[in-house]
Amino acid sequence: MNGLGADLAELETLKRGLGPATVCDVLVCPPASLIARAASVAKGAFALGGQDCHKEPSGAFTGDISAEMLKDAGASAVIVGHSERRHYHGERDQDVAAKAKAAWRAGLSAIICIGETESQRDAGEAPQICHSQITASVPKNATSANTAIAYEPVWAIGSGRTPSAGDILAMHAHIRRCLTGHLGAAATEMRILYGGSVKAGNAKPILALDHVNGALIGGASLKAHEFLAIIAAAKPET
């Protein structure tokens, strides 16, 4: 819940900073109030997504936004099941799966978030939690073309703390195995993003890890120069 019209200037800076040397896909998910205006800024330089959607295409759901509305505003993707939605709004795995299906219905890609809390991690339950979230939150007809998974250890979001490289590697490998067991061959090319206090200073080693196919950036995406530094970190060594 960040961003007013004046902040579109950051997207102008982002667009100027992107160019032929950009080797990764760039997606910005502003608040719904800015998507249409952001589309006029982006003009194909980067993609836009929503932060959440309702499972229904329309109806008496005052204050909600449908996947179709996001698509109409200029979005090509939507985040579903973010830990803050799960925690503050009580969203269950089945709610997340329904929203993913809604995204596909509208022609959007779904970024499905999973991840454990600090108490679950300390109890050694992180692998089990992520497995159960995958099997219940990711519909069986998910593919690499319509879905990405974002692993966000809840305790690392906005805290400045990140798991060790070994911990991230182990969890992403575990998630790949869970996805393969759940979806079969469709999981082979599915992107698994890491989210949780990613910033310019730690992005390069994180993005170099096996099964880390991108990053879900929070606070560090609010300023274009910080976000551009993370994007630059995706470029492999030559």
Distant-in-sequence, close-in-space partners of 164: CB < 8 Å, separation ≥ 6: none
Q: Which of 10, 54, 82, 172 is catalytic?
A: 82
Residue 87 lies in a domain: yes
Place 238 in a pLDDT band, splitting at 50, 70 and 90.
low
Where residue 94 sits, what CATH number does that domain have? Answer: 3.20.20.70
Residue 22 lies in a domain: no
Whether the pLDDT of residue 148 is over 80: the answer is: yes
Residue 20 lies in a domain: no
Which residue pairs, CB below 8 angstroms and at least 24 apart, start in 22-30?
22/231, 23/234, 23/235, 23/236, 24/214, 24/231, 24/234, 24/235, 25/214, 26/231, 27/76, 27/77, 28/221, 29/77, 29/78, 29/79, 30/3
What is the domain range of residue 157? 76-233
- Kindly state the average pLDDT of the residues 85-109: 98
Amino acid at 34: L
pLDDT digits (tens, 9 = 90+) for 110-125: 999 999 999 999 999 9
The percentage of the chain sitting over the pLDDT mark of 90, rounded to a whole number, equals 92
Quick one: tokens of 197?
């206090």
Whether the pLDDT of residue 236 is over 90: the answer is: no
Residue 6 lies in a domain: no
Q: Which of 68, 152, 172, 211 is catalytic?
A: 152
Residue 140 lies in a domain: yes
> 14-36 as b/e, with b when 16 or more CB fall inside 10 Å?
bbebeeeebeeebbbbbebebbe
Whether the pLDDT of residue 146 is over 80: the answer is: yes
pLDDT digits (tens, 9 = 90+) for 40-78: 999 999 999 999 999 999 999 999 999 999 999 999 999
The pTM of this model reads: 0.96
- Kindly state the average pLDDT of the residues 89-99: 98
Count of domains for the chain: 1
> 123-134 as b/e, with b when 16 or more CB fall inside 10 Å?
eeebeebbbebb
Residue 71 lies in a domain: no
- Kindly state the average pLDDT of the residues 173-200: 96
Query: How far is it, in rounded angstroms, from Cα 66 to Cα 52?
Result: 9
Place 161 in a pLDDT band, splitting at 50, 70 and 90.
confident
φ, ψ of residue 54 in degrees (nearest 5): -85, 155
Residue 120 lies in a domain: yes
Q: What is the pLDDT of residue 29?
A: 98
Query: How far is it, in rounded angstroms, from Cα 153 to Cα 156?
Result: 6
- Kindly state the average pLDDT of the residues 143-163: 89
Residue 1 lies in a domain: no
Whether the pLDDT of residue 2 is over 80: the answer is: yes
- Kindly state the average pLDDT of the residues 170-195: 97
- State yes or no: is 82 an active-site residue: yes
